[in-house]
Amino acid sequence: MSLPDHKKGSTQRVGLLDISTLGSLILLAAAAFYMAADYGDGTPSGGNVFPQLVSGVVFLTASLSLALRSRAVSRADSTDQRREKMSPKPLIIALLTFSFLAFLPIIGYPLLAPVWLCAIMWIFGMRSPWVLGLVSVGLSALAWILLSRLAYAPPPAGLFERFL
């Protein structure tokens, strides 16, 4: 992801949401890096290597992005007082995801995952009922198979416990 060139009179501005999101990512990545150290078993390829690698990459990428965005703001034209309208989509998606995780043990993955995926696709503009149905059910089934058969960590079945 590259930043656009900021020429004189440019109206590109970094919002508080961008800075707070990147700051949160940096803090979460640092916490994950620290917590992953407990999974080490003393070998070079212990359980801590991959989580620390991923969290380190997220930390560095978010830090670099924050630095570049901050520098771009200082170069942008500060006379522009135009307010950007925030979309409600990120908040709705966050609430849907929180609800999905909160109700997952109660209702169960087989019912909740397709509904959640369908809602997310609807928010992002997919309106075809066939695509919504097939993709949400297909991806949910594929994830169930991968988690339960390959990773031996099936998601909570909830109401479907006696059937699965």
* Cβ neighbours of 34 (radius 10 Å): 11
C-alpha distances in Å from residue 25, one per residue of 3, 22, 34, 61, 88: 19, 5, 14, 10, 20
pTM to 2 decimals?
0.55
Tens of pLDDT along 60-107?
Answer: 988 888 888 777 666 654 545 455 566 788 889 889 999 999 999 999
Q: What is the pLDDT of residue 163?
A: 85
pLDDT in tens, 30-48: 888 888 888 877 777 777 8
Q: What is the pLDDT of residue 16?
A: 66
Distance CA 103, CA 98 (A): 9
State how far the Cα of 71 lies from the Cα of 16, in Å rounded to an integer.
Answer: 15
Which pLDDT belongs to residue 11? 40
Query: What is the C-alpha to C-alpha distance for residues 113 and 154, in angstroms, rounded to an integer?
Result: 13
Is there a contact between 130 and 154 (Cβ–Cβ < 8 Å)?
Answer: no
Q: Is the pLDDT of residue 115 over 90?
A: yes
| Residue 17: predicted pLDDT | 67
CA distance linking residue 134 with residue 141, whole number of Å: 10
